[in-house]
Structure 1
């Protein structure tokens, strides 16, 4: 089963992201149109979840499932994963993905997916690294896989997700509040006022990038036979990622690049508007 079906139901309005990231100052949250487990069960997709006390207890089970070409979801404390060095390290429980195990190199092919920024990448980790991450999570230590019960369930899923997308966009409304407020800050705020908001807006544009990137993956799977052009959506999440990185960099360099920030924000607004205008009718058909 393609993991994008589980992770990519996420085109959140910029209004909602502004409220969550800037007003409430939340660093992570669930997007409103994520697929739920109850939806999958109705579509003949079963979740198999095993609980273990330690990684050593789970290792043989993990190896046997990966040899069967199963994609596994495991709970880890991201503090212990090397990729987190590129961000501010802190302890956080997160569900991530094991794709394969290399017997020759004794390493796991491990995939990161997150809804903040483009934290979508594959890494190779040893037993020791995953042992630390798995054993130190404070939640139940799950290893999960999903099984499609019917051969035609994938097509059923695609049809159901199309329906969910239609229903979602019928009620979708976005006034571009995040973009307007950010441009207002750039136009009227002092350098210090902008500096005070860099982390919050970096997180907000990370959520924009993650949301649009995930939804782009979803659309290219579910609508891959419809010849719909989602190039403007790809442009949107790539530019949002660049802006996110620029804002976080400015925290350390102390240099406020107003014109650069303004240019990126306007480009995001333009590409997102083109996506909604050009593709929304196609998605509602």
Structure 2
């Protein structure tokens, strides 16, 4: 996983895949269908104004079963209901994943400001003077840190999420049959691209906005388009990681694909920066968008025969 992927994955996926990668799981197989349609990204990020965390990406966590990774999940109403189970699993040295409300996490930028659902990794617990404390792991981007929570903090964070209150762990049996996996996931990729449809709507609409919109109209859309091009960058980068595992010896235009996701990242950063500088760099934005379109089309044209084999 690299910093491009962070723009594409939600927090649960980031933390889960980080953990599984540490355990030796070939998580790159899960990216077999991550080359998202820009039309879908336009619909979700621009029309519906969804954040990247709400985007329903093509990472199929159910495919973990093919990698001999089994997800175990229990659902509870409150932290008090879950606490004995959490303690028993941590006592067995299991790593647990829970949902929390960042409003209650002292180290979070959202602390006592905004209520947002987030994921945490539970590593261990201890008791002193009849008070429980918990060791957790969390990330800001690619940077993971460990923190300690009191029982009360974790209870408030757990109980106030607006999503289902799951406690999740994974059982991993590493396998050696990598070549068989490659065949299985090549089939998934082939089937995906047989029905893949992308008219470049995101790029066309962004160029139309740059050509015809006022500075204020562009400014109003900077955050949404920043999110959208972050998704483009992350999804193409994730797909690139998959291709290197499965298609490295095929006729794949890796150079054009890398140019695509790297330029999309540059454009994302430029758009976010413009929110604060109030400077609308039309020519620069236009140049980057055209470069993304050209490199993406070149990649697809040069690689489609291999992807459909």
Which position in structure 1 is the counterpart of 2:306?
282
- Cα distance in 1, alignment partners of residues 39 and 198 from structure 2: 6
SS at match of 1:173: coil
List gaps (5 residues or longer) in structure 2.
1-24
Larger Rg: 2
SS at match of 2:35: coil
CA drift at 1:165: 0.5
Q: Is the 8 A contact 2:104 2:111 kept in 1?
A: no
The answer to whether structure 1 residue 94 and structure 2 residue 118 are counterparts is: yes
Larger CA deviation: 246-255 vs 68-77: 68-77
CA drift at 1:169: 0.7
The answer to whether structure 1 residue 144 and structure 2 residue 168 are counterparts is: yes
Distance 1:189 1:37, change over 3 A: closer
Q: Is the 8 A contact 1:78 1:92 kept in 2?
A: yes
SS at match of 1:95: strand
Q: Could you list the per-position Cα deviations for residues 121-179 of structure 1 after superposition, in whole angstroms to 9, with x for gaps in the alignment?
A: 99999999988755653334434333355735654443322111100111112221111
Distance 1:244 1:56, change over 3 A: farther
SS at match of 1:159: helix
CA drift at 1:70: 7.1
Q: How many residues of Structure 1 are paired with residues of Structure 2 in the alignment?
A: 285
Q: Is the 8 A contact 1:117 1:241 kept in 2?
A: no
- Cα distance in 2, alignment partners of residues 111 and 218 from structure 1: 33
CA drift at 1:263: 1.4
Distance 1:118 1:148, change over 3 A: closer
CA drift at 1:18: 1.3
SS at match of 1:231: helix
TM-score (norm: length of structure 2): 0.67
Distance 1:144 1:202, change over 3 A: same
Distance 1:250 1:96, change over 3 A: same
SS at match of 1:48: strand
TM-score (norm: length of structure 1): 0.71
Distance 1:221 1:246, change over 3 A: same
Q: Is the 8 A contact 2:133 2:150 kept in 1?
A: no
CA drift at 1:220: 2.5
Distance 1:123 1:107, change over 3 A: farther
Q: Is the 8 A contact 1:72 1:143 kept in 2?
A: yes
Q: Could you list the per-position Cα deviations for residues 13-35 of structure 1 after superposition, in whole angstroms to 9, with x for gaps in the alignment?
A: 11121122222222247777735
